[in-house]
Amino acid sequence: MTLTPPKTADELLDMYYHDLRSYLLEVAAGFDRIERAGNTDDHRLAKLRAIATIAVDDNPDRAARLLTTLSVD
Amino acid sequence: MKVIEPHIHMIARTTADYERMALMHTAACCEPAFWAGYDRTSPQAFHDYFTHITEFEPTRAAQYLIDHYAYVCINPKEAEDVAFSKEVISFLPEFLDKPTVLGIGEIGLNKNTRNELTVFELQVEMAVERDMLIWIHSPHLDDKLKGTKMLLDCLRSHSGVNPDKVCFDHMEEHTVGLVKDAGYWASLTIYPVTKNSPARVVDTLERYGTDRMMVDASGDWGPSDPGTLHYALFEMRKRGYDDDTVEGVFYDNPCTFLGQCAKFAHQPRAGK
């Protein structure tokens, strides 16, 4: 049986807004860092771009889909 | 509020960590056998290791009023050599009979190889014969989903396995449903970078419920912290859950799973 979150979506956004802002900023700065150093065609960079889109898309189960995308067959 | 740490490698931690855990109301901890950061060079090295976690660690923990329990096994990272593994398995019964050993673990897969699976099966059979608990290590990172499916398929072919007595550890959002649907226990490991965060642990509890779920810090010699278990507890309280629900996850549930072994001295709270 799932748990019913005691807090509302707005309350949760208040709680996590600065964390999420910080994590997304780290992602953006990381891509900038690699690009400044001349970039690379390492396949892991494409993987990171792919999962970044999952993280902010409009569908549920983002974390599970992100991890599944990274998984080997 | 009392807490049970179901998975931690205290051999790699300082005595100060026992003290911190005690100050955070940890009543008991469990230490499954695992890799030391290097491959051991002989079966005798495993014998020494098992002696350490079944004799010295319980004594060290007792100074902080923490009951220390262990699981023994040949772990998946050192299970590629089947002949070597069989030598280690040959002396497991000597340790399984000790008063603080609850079962066999952490067994499982590392690189998802045939030899690892062979060694896993041998140890599952030993646990089933002795009706002991099984603590399973699921592979890390990108190998986790495939490895978890392989382990579930393998256990499905062993009719003697009681899912009540088996816990899959290091579960994440893409594997926890598979394990719970098959009737097994699942544990969520908190690691600073490579596993769950405290917030994701609470997310998963919301999504999959608290039944048959545990949380652990799995502290070892790498970047990890026994305190993260208590951060997750605090995260759950910050999210508005009442203390009864929180203690159910962090104390009653491990008591229920571990209490299936008569050697485990703690019980869930009355009525739980």
CB contact under 8 A, A2 and B172: no
Euclidean distance between CA atoms B196 and B223, whole angstroms? 13
Is the pLDDT score of B123 beyond 80?
Answer: yes
pLDDT per position as a tens digit, B227-252: 999 999 999 999 999 999 999 999 99
Q: What is the mean pLDDT of chain B?
A: 97
What is the per-residue pLDDT for B272?
Answer: 82
Quickly state the pLDDT bin for B78 (edges 50, 70, 90).
very high
Q: At which residue do the structure tokens 């690009």 appear?
A: A35
| CB contact at 8 A, B149 and B167 | no
pLDDT per position as a tens digit, B125-156: 999 999 999 999 999 988 999 999 999 999 99
pLDDT per position as a tens digit, B45-70: 999 999 999 999 999 999 999 999 99
What is the per-residue pLDDT for A9?
Answer: 97
What is the per-residue pLDDT for B141?
Answer: 86
Residue B233 one-letter amino acid:
L
What is the per-residue pLDDT for A1?
Answer: 80
What is the per-residue pLDDT for B82?
Answer: 98
Euclidean distance between CA atoms B36 and B33, whole angstroms? 9
What is the per-residue pLDDT for B159?
Answer: 86
Q: What is the mean pLDDT of chain A?
A: 96
In B, minimum Cα distance to A68 occurs at B174
Euclidean distance between CA atoms B235 and B214, whole angstroms? 15
What was the ipTM of the complex prediction? 0.93
Residues of A with CB under 8 A from a CB of B: 1-3, 5-7, 12, 15-16, 19, 61, 63-65, 67-68, 70-73
Euclidean distance between CA atoms B221 and B162, whole angstroms? 32
Euclidean distance between CA atoms B253 and B67, whole angstroms? 17
Task: State mean pLDDT over A48-65.
Answer: 97
Phi, psi of B162, deg, nearest 5: -95, 110
What is the per-residue pLDDT for B192?
Answer: 82
Q: Measured between beta carbons, which residues in chain B are less than 8 angstroms from residue A63? A: 172-174, 200, 203
Task: State mean pLDDT over B208-236.
Answer: 95
Q: Which of B69, B70, B61 is nearest to B18 (CA)?
A: B61
Quickly state the pLDDT bin for A59 (edges 50, 70, 90).
very high
**Distant-in-sequence, close-in-space partners of A20: CB < 8 Å, separation ≥ 6:** none
Euclidean distance between CA atoms B146 and B175, whole angstroms? 9
Task: State mean pLDDT over B12-33.
Answer: 97
Q: At which residue do the structure tokens 């066999």 appear?
A: B104
pLDDT per position as a tens digit, B180-209: 999 999 999 999 888 899 999 999 999 999
pTM: 0.96
Q: At which residue do the structure tokens 């009951």 appear?
A: B67
Question: Looking at the partner chain, which of B174, B177, B210 has a beta carbon nearest the beta carbon of A71?
Answer: B174
CB contact under 8 A, B239 and A6: yes
Q: Cis (ω within 30 of 0) for the bond into B106?
A: yes
Question: Please, what is the angle between helix B114-130 and helix B144-156, to 10°?
Answer: 50
